[in-house]
Structure 1
Amino acid sequence: MLTLLNLLSAVALLIWGTHIVRTGILRVYGSQLRRVLSNNMDKRPLAFLAGIAVTAVVQSSNATAMLVSSFVSQGLMALTPALAIMLGADVGTALMSRVLTFDLSWLSPLLIFIGVVFFLSRKQTRLGQMGRVSIGLGLIVLALQLIVTAAGPITGAQGVKVLFGSLTGDILLDALIGALFAMVSYSSLAAVLLTATLAGSEVISLPVAIGLVIGANIGSGVLAFISSSMQNAAGRQVALGSLLYKLIGLLLIIPVLTPLVAWMDSLTFSPQTLVIGFHLLYNTSRCLLLLPTVKWMARLCRSLLPEQAEENGIARSRHLDPTALATPSLALANAVRETLRIGDLIDTMLGSLVDALRGAQPALNQALRKQGDDVEALCSDVKLYLAQMPRDDLGDQDNRRWAEIIELSMDLKHSSDIIERMLRKIQRQKTSERRSFSDTGLEELATLHQQLLANLRLGLGVFVSSDPASARQLLREKRRFRAQERRLTHAHVSRLQRKVVQSIETSSLHLELIADMKRLNSLFCGSAYAVLETSETAALSDQESPA
């Protein structure tokens, strides 16, 4: 019982070490990995090599699957190159299984010692996070040693020999057992290394070991598909395609398995070397053979997992990937993209305002009501998403960005409420009172509206770029808008003095709309202060405070 517990704890340590390495790498180089995987991946060979490289860095094909699925679900990457990356990830994990079979017993204590020193002394710095990665690598090496050590007594037990002796080389049964190994250990790499150990101890024959290795690959595909269950259909399509490729590999290997095993058995290498070598040869051959088919596989996955319509007519977040919450840089980028989506909805709602003023459409139709509901739902999603982030791990810059996203999403929500209120006022004026603006008054409101729309777009640009020059330009536009608003208010009062009938009838609504636009302008320009307060605090003291 103690031996079994030692084996399970070693497997758990391997899983934990892989998790530490993956999260540490993503916290330090998450943005760079995001750019590598989401840009310039149109060519399949380049995407294939990127999958190998990223998997070698994060030490796990499952980690690569989560990254790629996340980018596809957010619309940062097409499905076709994503499937090519996943094929490269399978080769990458096979390469790592070969590397980790070398005698690295000296490396584990060195990596853990160095990692602890740097992580405790400089926890919030990049060097401290690299220390965390070093700890994870040390734990992985140590866990693999413990797995081999703990498996020794187990493989020597008579009951285990009888159990494995019942496996006769039936490829389907062996593949099923191998898949279960990978799922229980949460790592195809651990399952393959354990299989190599069993083969080296002559507990299982070479044909059985090869079947277990093939099954371990399938098990990793099942794990990736289960892990993508919280993502949208686009993200799940990546995991489905990877799993289907692994199943196709099983079908392709069955006709040549008997002569292949006979040839391998005639070689003079040890069983462990043969198992690891087959794993590398099988994954490399399979992935290179199937790489030209990624376009057809993408079509198949889209047909099997089509995009679903939004439930109850309410928009659902597209970019708020829960799996990215452990990586602040990625999670914040996701929240920024979703906030910009809210900004696009405000842009559309604001564009409808001038049409309602001119009578080109109903003031508050069903489409506009839905857009307001969508803004409210998405703002709530952004807040809840950011609330789940572990803020203790955020640096100063990420903390400021976190606050900026929250503030802008709230400002956009208030803007939506104001626009809806303005549209209701216009609707009430036209339906119940049946009055219309004078031609001059209407053009003044339209002019102010165009300036307001431009400030919204500039404000969103400042939010994305955090450019101080653009922020200063936005503050200048804010002051220009206020001057224009005062001028138009005075012009309206002048028309009242001249007793223009239409101006008198719509005076109250006219002035209320101008005041509402002034409030909207203040909300749209708020992003400028967030940018400038960090780099130009002294200069801000001379500027006007936000209204």
Structure 2
Amino acid sequence: MKHLLNLLAAIALLVWGTHLVRTGVLRVFGANLRTMLARSMGNRFSAALSGMGVTALVQSSTATSLMTSSFVGQGLITLPAALAVMRGADVGTALMSVLFSLDLSWLSPLFIFVGVVLFIARQAGTAGRVGRVLIGLGLMLLALEMVMQASGPMLASPVIKMVLGSVRSDIALEIILGTVLAVLAYSSLAIVLLIAAMAASHVVPLDVALGLVLGANLGSGLVAVLTTAKSAVEVRQVTVGNLVFKVLGVLLVAPFIGLWLRHLQPHMPGTAQGVVLFHLAYNILISVGFIGFTQWVARAVAWLLPKPESAQRRRPQHLDPSALSTPSLAISCAAREALYQADVVETMLLGVLQVIRHNDQDLAERLRKMDDEVDELYSAIKYYLTKISREALGEEESRRWADIISFTINMEQVGDIIERVLQDIEDKKIRKGRDFSEAGMAEITELHQRLVDNLRLGMSVFLNGNLRDAQRLLEEKVRFRDLERAYAASHLLRLSDGTVPAMETSSLHIDLISDLKRINSHICSIAYPILESAGALAPSRLKALRAAPAPLNDHP
């Protein structure tokens, strides 16, 4: 039992080390890696080379698959180009398995020591993230050594011999088992290295190890499919197409395992090297041999997973799941989506005046339905932000994270108010055939124009964080409040004069200018985080009142 626990601990450490390296590299170089991928789509061969390079760095073809899928989902690259990237990605992860199969155990304590020093010294900076990568590399090398040490004593166990005996010579079972292990570990690289280490220790026979390697390759493709199962069709097409290539490769290579064992394995420097080189040969074969078929597979996948007939792009489109490992990039994605949410709110706000002027009930209904999109975007952005690792955020990034949440909340509440305003206009004005007085309509038009200008200014403040613009926005809150009070008083004067339109629309008029003021308050709230971080906010009025002495009462 002790040896089994040691082996399981070694496997867990190997998977965890792979995770640390992958997330660490993405956090340091994620944006640059994505740029390199996006710029290398001129032809299928340069795309494959870029996929190989990116995967060699992040040590995960699944991570590369998610990046590439997101590009297709945003319309930046075509499906055949994305499949070409994945052909190179598989070779990249296979090259890393060859590198780690070498005896690099002496580097493990060095990587861990330097990594811990960097991580502790500058945890939130680039140095800390590089230290995280070094810790992961050291743990991977240490885990491989532990696998070798723990697997030896297990050979004497009759239970292990019985299990291995049932797996031997059943290639289908070997492939299935390797697939399951890769899915559970979320890393084909870790499983291939584990299989190589266990084969070198004679825990598994060599022929079984090669079958498990084929299954691990199949599992890496299946992991990407499962990860993108709820994504847009364009994204799923990439992962399904990549899985098709892997299935074809397994079907092609599996019958020739015996030839490898008889003719090539005797020339290998060792058992572990034979396993990882078989893994490399498999991926080179399906990458070079199948790269000319990317167009055909792309057409087949497009037929299997057709795009929706609707010409509208699915939203949200900026919340890229592959960017979550690079917090600064993920925050930028969330900010872009938040600006789109504000664009939808602006469209609703602009339409309000058209509804009032022309009594357009159809337009009112369309605008009210847009609030559902605003709400959905708010939920999507909020959920996306919660998936960003807060530990990896610096002070400025954490502040931006909070600003985005605050901005989307305000936009969602503005959308709700506009929806209620439109409903009131339908109920109290359009259906009853009433109109505002000429003076009342002029006041509403003035407030509406100021509101649109303030919304655009608020979007600029959110995007640029300009202190002067934030101050202007807060000043507009006071002006708008004064206008709302003045126009409410003017409306009461018209009522006292007996103006018929003013009397018929009095309730709606008062409610409308009050709602416009509430909308303006939410928009002006965008300025508070900028002013607070700059120390430009005055002490609260409540504190001033509490600090002032109580007035003397002259009456008994």
> What corresponds to 1:350 in structure 2?
349
Distance 1:524 1:217 in 2: 52
Q: Which amino acid aligns with 1:108?
A: S
Q: Which amino acid aligns with 2:91?
A: V
> What corresponds to 1:148 in structure 2?
148
Q: Which moved more, 1:52-61 or 1:452-461?
A: 452-461
Q: Cα distance 1:276–1:232, how it changes in 2: closer, same or farther (>3 A)?
A: same
- TM norm structure 2: 0.80
Per the TM alignment, residue 95 of structure 1 is displaced from its structure 2 partner at its CA by: 0.8
Alignment pair present for 1:87 and 2:113: no
> What corresponds to 1:537 in structure 2?
535
Distance 1:500 1:300 in 2: 70
> What corresponds to 2:136 in structure 1?
136
Distance 1:180 1:471 in 2: 54
Q: Cα distance 1:478–1:53, how it changes in 2: closer, same or farther (>3 A)?
A: farther
> What corresponds to 2:548 in structure 1?
none
Q: What's the secondary structure of 1:521's corresponding residue?
A: helix
Distance 1:42 1:487 in 2: 62
Q: Which amino acid aligns with 2:394?
A: G
Q: Which moved more, 1:287-296 or 1:196-205?
A: 196-205
Per the TM alignment, residue 15 of structure 1 is displaced from its structure 2 partner at its CA by: 0.7
> What corresponds to 2:238 in structure 1?
238
Q: Which amino acid aligns with 2:125?
A: T
Q: Cα distance 1:533–1:198, how it changes in 2: closer, same or farther (>3 A)?
A: closer
Per the TM alignment, residue 423 of structure 1 is displaced from its structure 2 partner at its CA by: 1.7
Q: Which amino acid aligns with 1:241?
A: G
> What corresponds to 1:426 in structure 2?
425
Distance 1:425 1:115 in 2: 62
Distance 1:465 1:264 in 2: 61
Q: Cα distance 1:497–1:49, how it changes in 2: closer, same or farther (>3 A)?
A: farther
Q: Which moved more, 1:366-375 or 1:168-177?
A: 168-177
Distance 1:372 1:185 in 2: 41
Given that 1:364 and 1:420 are in contact with CA atoms closer than 8 Å, whether structure 2 keeps it comes out as no
Q: Cα distance 1:541–1:510, how it changes in 2: closer, same or farther (>3 A)?
A: same
Q: Cα distance 1:194–1:513, how it changes in 2: closer, same or farther (>3 A)?
A: closer
Matches within 5 A, 1:191-210: 191-197=191-197, 200=200, 209-210=209-210
> What corresponds to 1:411 in structure 2?
410
Q: What's the secondary structure of 1:434's corresponding residue?
A: coil
Distance 2:253 2:527 in 1: 61
Matches within 5 A, 1:59-458: 59-69=59-69, 79-154=79-154, 172-183=172-183, 185-197=185-197, 200=200, 209-229=209-229, 231-253=231-253, 263-265=263-265, 267=267, 269-305=269-305, 328-359=327-358, 361-362=360-361, 365-387=364-386, 391-431=390-430, 433-437=432-436, 442=441, 445-446=444-445, 448-458=447-457
Distance 2:330 2:268 in 1: 51
> What corresponds to 2:58 in structure 1?
58
Q: Which amino acid aligns with 1:92?
A: G
Q: Cα distance 1:373–1:200, how it changes in 2: closer, same or farther (>3 A)?
A: closer
Q: Cα distance 1:437–1:295, how it changes in 2: closer, same or farther (>3 A)?
A: farther
Per the TM alignment, residue 43 of structure 1 is displaced from its structure 2 partner at its CA by: 4.5
Given that 1:148 and 1:194 are in contact with CA atoms closer than 8 Å, whether structure 2 keeps it comes out as no
Q: Which moved more, 1:46-55 or 1:296-305?
A: 296-305
Q: What's the secondary structure of 1:462's corresponding residue?
A: helix
Given that 2:233 and 2:307 are in contact with CA atoms closer than 8 Å, whether structure 1 keeps it comes out as yes
Given that 2:341 and 2:374 are in contact with CA atoms closer than 8 Å, whether structure 1 keeps it comes out as yes
Q: Cα distance 1:252–1:444, how it changes in 2: closer, same or farther (>3 A)?
A: farther
Q: Is there any run of 5+ residues in structure 1 with no aligned partner, and where?
A: none
**CA deviation profile, 1:48-94 (whole Å, cap 9, x unmatched):** 33322222222222333344456656777664444333322211111
Distance 1:268 1:136 in 2: 29
Per the TM alignment, residue 437 of structure 1 is displaced from its structure 2 partner at its CA by: 3.4
Given that 2:268 and 2:274 are in contact with CA atoms closer than 8 Å, whether structure 1 keeps it comes out as no
Given that 2:198 and 2:204 are in contact with CA atoms closer than 8 Å, whether structure 1 keeps it comes out as yes
Distance 1:84 1:462 in 2: 41
Per the TM alignment, residue 21 of structure 1 is displaced from its structure 2 partner at its CA by: 2.0
> What corresponds to 2:547 in structure 1?
none
**CA deviation profile, 1:122-144 (whole Å, cap 9, x unmatched):** 32333223222221111011111
Given that 1:231 and 1:321 are in contact with CA atoms closer than 8 Å, whether structure 2 keeps it comes out as no
Distance 1:413 1:481 in 2: 21
Q: Cα distance 1:458–1:260, how it changes in 2: closer, same or farther (>3 A)?
A: farther
Q: What's the secondary structure of 1:225's corresponding residue?
A: helix
Per the TM alignment, residue 104 of structure 1 is displaced from its structure 2 partner at its CA by: 0.9
Given that 1:364 and 1:427 are in contact with CA atoms closer than 8 Å, whether structure 2 keeps it comes out as no
Given that 1:111 and 1:135 are in contact with CA atoms closer than 8 Å, whether structure 2 keeps it comes out as yes
Distance 1:184 1:478 in 2: 55
Per the TM alignment, residue 247 of structure 1 is displaced from its structure 2 partner at its CA by: 0.6
Given that 2:217 and 2:246 are in contact with CA atoms closer than 8 Å, whether structure 1 keeps it comes out as yes
**CA deviation profile, 1:231-281 (whole Å, cap 9, x unmatched):** 454444333222211112123435766666654256465444333223223
Percent identical across equivalent pairs? 46
**CA deviation profile, 1:354-378 (whole Å, cap 9, x unmatched):** 2211226207754333322333344
Alignment pair present for 1:19 and 2:19: yes
Q: Cα distance 1:174–1:382, how it changes in 2: closer, same or farther (>3 A)?
A: closer
Q: Cα distance 1:430–1:136, how it changes in 2: closer, same or farther (>3 A)?
A: same
Q: Which amino acid aligns with 1:147?
A: V
Distance 1:36 1:494 in 2: 67
Q: Cα distance 1:458–1:245, how it changes in 2: closer, same or farther (>3 A)?
A: farther
Distance 1:40 1:516 in 2: 51
Q: What's the secondary structure of 1:537's corresponding residue?
A: coil
Distance 1:249 1:464 in 2: 48
Q: Which moved more, 1:187-196 or 1:464-473?
A: 464-473
Q: Which moved more, 1:124-133 or 1:193-202?
A: 193-202
Per the TM alignment, residue 112 of structure 1 is displaced from its structure 2 partner at its CA by: 1.0
Given that 2:112 and 2:134 are in contact with CA atoms closer than 8 Å, whether structure 1 keeps it comes out as yes
Distance 2:525 2:79 in 1: 37
**CA deviation profile, 1:501-522 (whole Å, cap 9, x unmatched):** 6566546644653443343234
Q: Which amino acid aligns with 2:178?
A: G
Distance 1:80 1:468 in 2: 46
Q: Which amino acid aligns with 2:423?
A: R
Q: Which moved more, 1:334-343 or 1:298-307?
A: 298-307
Corresponding pairs, count: 539
Q: Cα distance 1:523–1:186, how it changes in 2: closer, same or farther (>3 A)?
A: closer
Q: What's the secondary structure of 1:103's corresponding residue?
A: coil
Given that 1:364 and 1:424 are in contact with CA atoms closer than 8 Å, whether structure 2 keeps it comes out as no
Per the TM alignment, residue 403 of structure 1 is displaced from its structure 2 partner at its CA by: 1.7
Q: Is there any run of 5+ residues in structure 2 with no aligned partner, and where?
A: 542-556
What value does the CA root-mean-square deviation take over the aligned residues? Answer: 4.3
Q: What's the secondary structure of 2:526's corresponding residue?
A: helix
Q: Which amino acid aligns with 1:243?
A: L
Per the TM alignment, residue 216 of structure 1 is displaced from its structure 2 partner at its CA by: 2.0
Distance 2:375 2:211 in 1: 53
Q: Which moved more, 1:178-187 or 1:255-264?
A: 255-264
Q: What's the secondary structure of 2:101's corresponding residue?
A: coil
Q: Which amino acid aligns with 1:288?
A: V
**CA deviation profile, 1:363-419 (whole Å, cap 9, x unmatched):** 775433332233334434444554565545532212211221221122112211221
Given that 2:436 and 2:502 are in contact with CA atoms closer than 8 Å, whether structure 1 keeps it comes out as yes
